[in-house]
Structure 1
Amino acid sequence: MHEQILTDRQRIFGDDDPDTLTSRNNLAGAYESAGRLDQAVTLYEQNLTDCERVLGNDHPDTLTSRNNLAYAYQAAGRLDQAITLYEQNLTDCERVLAKDHPDTLTSRNNLAYAYRAAGRLDQAITLYEQTLTDRQRVLGDDHPDTLTSRNNLEAARRTKDV
Structure 2
Amino acid sequence: MPPLEKRLARAELLRAQGRYTEAAALLRSTLRHASDPLAIADICNALAVTYKYTGRFDEAQVLYDRALAIIERVQGPDHVDVASIYHNLGGLAHARGALSDAERPARRAVDIRVRAVGAGHPDVAADKVRPGGHPRRPRPGRRGRAAHPGGPGGVRADR
Deviation of 1:154 (Å): 8.1
Residues 1:46 and 1:102: Cα distance change in structure 2 (over 3 Å): same
Instruction: State the one-letter code of the partner of 1:85.
Output: L
Residues 1:120 and 1:92: Cα distance change in structure 2 (over 3 Å): farther
**TM-score between both structures, scaled by the size of structure 2:** 0.75
Structure 2 residue corresponding to 1:64, chosen from 21, 39, 42: 42
- C-alpha separation between the residues in 1 aligned to 2:70 and 2:86? 11
Q: How does 1:44-83 map to 2 (within 5 A)?
A: 44-51=27-34, 55-56=35-36, 58=37, 60-83=38-61
2:10 aligned with 1:32 = no
Deviation of 1:155 (Å): 8.4
- Could you list the per-position Cα deviations for residues 24-48 of structure 1 after superposition, in whole angstroms to 9, with x for gaps in the alignment? 2222222112211111111111111
2:121 aligned with 1:143 = yes
* Greater relative contact order, per chain length (Cα 8 Å cut-off, separation 6+): 2
Instruction: State the one-letter code of the partner of 2:121.
Output: H
- Whichever of the two has the greater Rg, that structure is 1
Residues 1:154 and 1:48: Cα distance change in structure 2 (over 3 Å): closer
Instruction: State the one-letter code of the partner of 1:41.
Output: A
**TM-score between both structures, scaled by the size of structure 1:** 0.74
* Contact 1:93/1:107, CA 8 A, preserved across alignment: no
Instruction: State the one-letter code of the partner of 1:92.
Output: I
Structure 1 residue corresponding to 2:26, chosen from 43, 57, 60: 43
Matched positions, count: 134
2:104 aligned with 1:126 = yes
> Helix, strand or coil for the counterpart of 2:26?
helix
What residue ranges of structure 2 are gaps of 5+ in the alignment? Answer: 135-159
4+ residue runs over 4 A deviation: none
- C-alpha separation between the residues in 2 aligned to 1:30 and 1:116? 23
What residue ranges of structure 1 are gaps of 5+ in the alignment? Answer: 1-14, 157-162
Instruction: Please give the root-mean-square deviation of Cα atoms over the aligned residues, in Å.
Output: 2.0
> Helix, strand or coil for the counterpart of 1:74?
helix
- C-alpha separation between the residues in 2 aligned to 1:20 and 1:154? 32
Percent identity for Structure 1 against Structure 2: 28
